[in-house]
Amino acid sequence: MKGNELTILIITKNEAQNLIALLPSLNFANELIIVDSNSTDNTVEIAKKYTDKVFTRKFDNHGAQKNWGLTKVSNDWVFIIDADERVTDELKSEIENTFKLTSDNVAYWIKRTNIFMGKQINYSGWKNDKVIRLINKNFCKYDSNIIHEEITTNGKIGILKQKLLHNTYSSLTSYLEKIHGYTNKKAILKFNKNKKSNYFTIGFRPFFKFIFIYVFRLGFLDGKQGLIISSLTAYNVFLTMIKLYRLENGEKLE
């Protein structure tokens, strides 16, 4: 990667408070691109203080939004970050040092440390969380999944040692709103694949999901936060199954 410059890409929607904390730390790239989805707060105004490359695009899904953003990138190498994530000094140094090396890798995995309700989560199914975020745009793009979008690559993938900080929780209201949007999409996917709801999926699957996260994925070791994560994960399954049932009966999800 020797001789290449770096672009940072962020997609946003009402992320003013997160951008205030994030943007000052992104001075290690020579290009910053922000694709906003018609924010109603002052996200765009804050973004324009750090870059003149702020674009507005109607949101369809995360993968498509990021792929569109990649078309605006000048450099080959791109570091993609979410507004609720933070780059530590150690990770910043590793990224900078990686660019001084010659490598066949076209992308890099980055592990994440997840923070939930003010506490670092070490278990609860989040222990091995990692994402592909450092990519060569010529060999990588996002798939078309409407949830859990993934980078597809045509080449080797490396892994960085340092972790990205992920602040998963800003408030209960925003967290529940995310669950609402996620379960809508998940129910629609299941419906389109002709999956069916029944007494088991609605009444028992959420309970088994709770046990799996809290007991077998050691959520109890994360204290109260582990209990809350396990409960919210079960609630996520319950909502998805209820929404699938409503879709089967002709109701439209908003």
Quick check: 1 pLDDT over 60? no
Residue 72 lies in a domain: yes
Q: How far apart are CA 230 and CA 214, in angstroms?
A: 6
Structural domain ending residue among the three candidates 145, 167, 189: 167
pLDDT at 164 > cutoff 90: yes
Task: Please check whether residue 208 is in contact with residue 177, taking contact to mean a CB–CB distance below 8 angstroms.
Answer: no
Global pTM value: 0.92
Mean pLDDT in residue range 177-203: 95
Q: What is the pLDDT of residue 97?
A: 86
Final residue of a structural domain among 144, 167, 190: 167
User: Of 37, 39, 30, 35, whose CA–CA distance to 6 is shortest?
Assistant: 30
Task: Report yes or no on 131 lying in a domain.
Answer: yes
> Which of 66, 72, 34, 56 has its CA nearest to residue 150?
66
Residue 128 and residue 212 in one domain = no
- At 127 the pLDDT is 93
Structural domain that includes position 180: 172-248
User: Percentage of residues in the chain with pLDDT exceeding 70?
Assistant: 98
Helices 223-248 and 172-192 pack at an angle, to 10 degrees, of 40
Question: What's the domain count of the chain?
Answer: 2
What are the pLDDT digits (tens) for 212-254? 999 999 999 999 999 999 999 999 999 999 999 999 999 998 7
Q: Residue 253 domain-assigned?
A: no
Checking if the pLDDT of 11 tops 90, the result is yes
Q: What is the DSSP letter of 215?
A: I
Buried/exposed 75-109: b ≥16 CB within 10 Å, e otherwise: bbbbbbbbbbbbbeeebbebbeebbeeeeebbbbe
State mean pLDDT over 206-212: 98
**Paired tokens of 213:** 């996260």
- For 62-121, write each residue's pLDDT tens digit: 999 999 999 999 999 999 999 999 999 999 999 988 876 778 999 999 999 999 999 999
**Mean pLDDT to the nearest integer, 22-43:** 96
What pLDDT shows up at residue 212?
98
The CATH number of the domain where 72 resides is what? 3.90.550.10
How confident is the model at residue 103, as a pLDDT? 84
Please tell me whether residues 128 and 73 are part of one structural domain: yes
* 144: confidence class by pLDDT, cuts 50, 70, 90: confident
Overall average pLDDT of the 151-158 stretch: 94
The pLDDT of residue 98? 86
Residue 147 confidence (pLDDT) above 90 = no
- Residue 2 confidence (pLDDT): 44
Query: What would you measure as the largest C-alpha separation in the chain, in angstroms?
Result: 59
pLDDT at residue 62, as a whole number:
93
42 and 118 fall within a common domain? yes
* Residues 156 and 233 occupy one common structural domain: no
